[in-house]
Amino acid sequence: MDLKQYIRSVPNWPIEGVMFRDITTLLQHPEAFRYVCDELTSRYKEKKIDAVVGIEARGFIFGSVLAYNLGCSFVPIRKPGKLPGKTISEEYELEYGKNTLEIHEDAIEENQNIVIIDDLLATGGSLKAAINLEEKLKGNIVECAIVIELPELKGREKLGKHKIFKLIEF
């Protein structure tokens, strides 16, 4: 399936000079959404995944479906102040500023097999922050999964040895 036809490109959002790739249009088409979820499930169903870790906010959409399909737990990584328990945090840089991600310090058990999932890999900041959080918790990162990669922004280069699975690139 050609997923690109379901992705809306929004120029100069959220700031001037950024070409935003909007997945809400993909989500509006059940056949495209199902295709993404089925592809992810197929990729990980035999890999003994203990937890799917989704990055706020759009990683929650695909991550929760994947966790359900795999019969494993779903762990949210959120922006500051959104998780009620004791957390650890990691700051990162965006194309247009800085942000921080947090995870409950008891969200992952040591050596659990995990997949980290998000909708987009651009500069790699948020995904690298999520990787750093999982490494602090001593989870075994099997792979990082993304729906869209923007290779010209070289985000993959920040992620070191970690395997990255993508469905499409722009």
What domains are there in the chain, each with its CATH number? Answer: 47-169 (3.40.50.2020)
Q: What is the DSSP string of 37-82?
A: HHHHHHHHTTS---EEEEETTHHHHHHHHHHHHHT-EEEEEB-TT-
Q: What span, in angstroms and rounded, lies between the C-alpha atoms of 32 and 83?
A: 31
pLDDT tens, 70-84?
Answer: 999 999 999 999 999
For residue 95, pLDDT beyond 80: no
Catalytic machinery residues: 58, 95
Q: What is the pTM of this model?
A: 0.95
Q: Which residue has better confidence, 117 or 94?
A: 117
pLDDT tens, 124-162?
Answer: 999 999 999 999 999 999 999 999 999 999 999 999 999
